[in-house]
Chain A
Amino acid sequence: MTRARHVREIDDLDDRALLEVEGLKTHFRTRNGVVRSVDGVSFDLERGRTLAIVGESGSGKTVLSRSIMGLLPPHNVVREGRVRFGDVDMTSASEAELRGLWGAQVSMVFQDPMTSLNPVVRIGRQITESLRYHLAMSRQDAKQTAISLLRSVGIPEPEHRMRWYPHQFSGGMCQRIVIAAAIACGPKLLLADEPTTGLDVTVSAQILDLIHRLQQERYMSVILITHDLGVVTGRSDEVIVMYAGQIVEQAPTSVLFRDMRMPYTEALLKSAPRLSNPSHTRLHTIPGNPPNPADLPKGCRFAPRCPYVQERCREEEPPLRAADVPRHWYACWYPVGSPEGTRALQENQAVGAPGAVGVV
């Protein structure tokens, strides 16, 4: 292999985390006021770990991933805070510097595989392109590498399929190809934004397992963005729950499911239908709608919909604070399972507050 021309090598040999996001804010200036899509998000991610970011539509998870990548429109965006990736400050990096990172050190898998591939270019070329550009591989080497990549993501007869166009593949197969292209240059960080939404259950399980396997084999860090809490278990080390542009809870995956503190996390878990429930089980719902990001409520942003809500929640915004378990943080004045939380819930149930009834 010739020497790489277009890779910005990053130094991550020190003991710092691979990715560090600090006080990240992304606000859009619109006619309806300032939309605070990401509002003060901080976290870090170590090499070889998987972080899941979970939230409903409009919670800011996609804007967050794009802010990390530096893929935001140049106008009407206010960006604050810092994103450090290896030894590069992504927030102040020039576009040329970012281009040396995109695809090579950090790459992204988007929701819709059909639109993230170029429909008029053979898939082989779409994979070899980044190998040739970033790693300056010869045509032959790039071709061989692409074939082995396609094989590793489970495309049968890769030699032959290299000459196919995206429309000749199904959605699941296209997503495999997108993943092959994303990992081609051996990135250190893979951002997967709803990689399986729109795919069938069987296919979606395969794609998530594939990402997990590649992550283990290649010691990549993965950020898995999803609206489905179900997909994160067994496939992530840590989970961040986002609501209205902020982190409301962060915990190691098993801790989150066993010991959630934030009423929003609890409500999300409870509202999903489960196979273990009998038919016609009444589902738990979260009353109301997520707040308008251009007109956020004072105090806790979940307060208007929260079954535990108290006067303080409507006045004072709860900070993210540490729970008893290491690496578990939550933002709530009356957390689930605590004496004050239980009392708050009981008081609300006693007066029949919407949402509180039916919570066990």
Chain B
Amino acid sequence: MAGSGTAHLRDADESLIRVENLVVDFPAPKGQKVHAVSDVSFDVYPGETVGIVGESGCGKSTTGRAILQLPRPTSGRVLFEGVDLTGLSGEEMRQVRTKLQVIFQDPISSLYPRRTVSELVLEPLAIWDVGSEEDRVERARLMLSEVNMDYDTVSWRRPYEFSIGQCQRISIARALMLNPRVLICDEPVSALDVSVQAQILNLLEDMKRRYGLTMIFISHDLAVVKNVSDRVLVMFLGKTCEVAGAETLYASPAHPYTRALLMASVISSRALSRAGTSAAPVLDEEERESQTEMPSSVTPPSGCRYRTRCPRASEICGVQEPSMRQIGEGHFVACHFPLGAPASTEATAITN
């Protein structure tokens, strides 16, 4: 796993966003490189929500930002409405960004603290010189009411006067001011309490439906990702492990890493079902052992990058990187020895 390949990409003509062989490296000391994202591909259809899950350092945020060319990827292509964003000039990219909006994890630091709410939400319109002053205020009034805030009460206030959940609402209103096609949500609810998290997730779903948005939803929380996503991409150390429809992925994870992630959160999830007992699910000794540290992204393991933590790893995993292959309807995995599916052809060849 933790593999490459583009077998899981769907029809290019129908995709709104198509990321092909995306690579993002950052310079590290002593002439080394941090391999943040290494050969990741995925696509998003219009109106779809694609969730990206993984632990810190797996490159999920870098992937989200690379779509916006923040910074420009080292190599690979990012197609949006059929146009390769990596080839655009700064000015052309600036034009495209009106259609690609982003919401960050920490709403308080993503709102400029000394501006009032009206300045914050009106700025995108001012930059693009959209409509008259009255039109703009009208639009701000509408968007703020969409996020359950009243323009007249909040317009003159500043971010510090609001709770973190309210700030996230303002961020969402601001992101929608220019009527974007795509909303990239980078851990939008990670800093919020569970009751506020529910409000924001419902709000994002409403906005998606009402404005026909396409979303890329990045989070480390599997339950949250499942709740909002149609398709889910699991990442590990800059590589893709598994791609599947949300239901399939959670019902029958094929990648050992997906399973490890699920097991870790099933504990909390089971607790929340009302019939929950106090028994935590048991990982066997081997699986528990395997849940060690993230390998270095400067010198990632050879072959499959997950093999150092993987209970199923064998020799071939260190030699040959698994590529994405189909194991079910819309279900793709990059692993030599997936769960509930036959081993890869390379692996079978060796055993024979």
Contact = CB atoms under 8 A, between A and B. Distances in A.
27 contacts: A173-B293, A200-B56, A201-B55, A201-B222, A202-B264, A205-B263, A205-B267, A229-B194, A229-B272, A253-B278, A254-B278, A257-B271, A257-B274, A269-B272, A272-B197, A272-B198, A272-B223, A273-B197, A273-B223, A274-B269, A275-B226, A277-B227, A279-B247, A280-B227, A283-B201, A283-B202, A284-B198
A57 B193 contact: yes
Interface string B248-291: 00100000000011111111111111111111100000000001
Contact of B227 (A200, A258, A268, A273): A273
Given A202-B261, A272-B272, A281-B227, A233 B193 contact: no
Contacts of A274: 223, 269, 272-273
A269 B263 CA distance: 20
Given A227-B193, A267-B195, A233 B205 contact: no
A255 to B, nearest CB: 10
Contact of A201 (B195, B220, B250, B278): B220
B291 A273 contact: no
Interface residues of A, number: 46
A342 interface: no
B246 interface: yes
B63 to A, nearest CB: 17
Interface of A: 56-57, 170-173, 200-206, 227-235, 253-254, 257-258, 267-269, 271-286, 289
B266 A271 contact: no
Among the interface residues A201, A230, A235, A274, which one has the most CB atoms of the partner chain B within 10 A? A201
B247 A278 contact: yes
Contact of A268 (B195, B247, B270, B291): B195
A275 B195 contact: no
A269 B195 CA distance: 9
B246 A56 contact: no
Closest A-B pairs by Cβ, 10 of them:
A230-B268, A233-B271, A234-B280, A283-B198, A271-B198, A200-B55, A273-B227, A275-B269, A279-B246, A56-B193
Contacts, number: 139
A235 B99 CA distance: 46
A202 B262 CA distance: 9
A273 B224 contact: yes
Interface in B151-201: 163-165, 193-199, 201
A149 B265 CA distance: 28
A234 B198 contact: no
A230 B271 contact: yes
Nearest to B267: A205
Given A205-B267, A273-B198, A279-B230, A234 B279 contact: yes
B323 interface: no
A268 B264 contact: no
B202 A233 contact: no
B226 A200 contact: no
B221 A201 contact: yes
A231 B264 CA distance: 11
Given A200-B220, A227-B193, A205 B277 contact: no
A278 B251 CA distance: 10
Contacts of B61: none
A279 B250 CA distance: 10
Contacts of B197: 271-273
B47 to A, nearest CB: 12
B227 A205 contact: no
A173 B56 CA distance: 14
Given A170-B294, A275-B262, A258 B205 contact: no
Nearest to A275: B269
A273 B195 CA distance: 10
B229 interface: yes
B227 A201 contact: no
Nearest to B262: A275
B228 interface: yes
B279 A271 contact: no
Given A173-B293, A232-B271, A274-B273, 15 more contacts: A56-B194, A170-B293, A172-B293, A200-B55, A202-B264, A231-B271, A234-B278, A258-B276, A271-B197, A273-B223, A274-B272, A275-B262, A279-B227, A283-B198, A286-B195
Contacts of B250: 275
Given A201-B55, A201-B220, A272-B223, A285 B275 contact: no
B280 A275 contact: no
Among the interface residues B220, B230, B268, which one has the most CB atoms of the partner chain A within 10 A? B268
A272 B201 CA distance: 10
B264 to A, nearest CB: 4
Among the interface residues A231, A274, A278, which one has the most CB atoms of the partner chain B within 10 A? A274
Given A201-B222, A257-B271, A285 B198 contact: yes
B172 to A, nearest CB: 15
Nearest to A56: B193
Among the interface residues B165, B221, B269, B272, which one has the most CB atoms of the partner chain A within 10 A? B272
A210 to B, nearest CB: 11
A201 B228 contact: no
Nearest to B265: A201
A281 B201 CA distance: 10
B273 A56 contact: no
Nearest to B294: A170
Nearest to A271: B198
A352 to B, nearest CB: 17
A289 B227 contact: no
B275 A258 contact: yes
B280 A285 contact: no
B291 A282 contact: no
A282 to B, nearest CB: 6
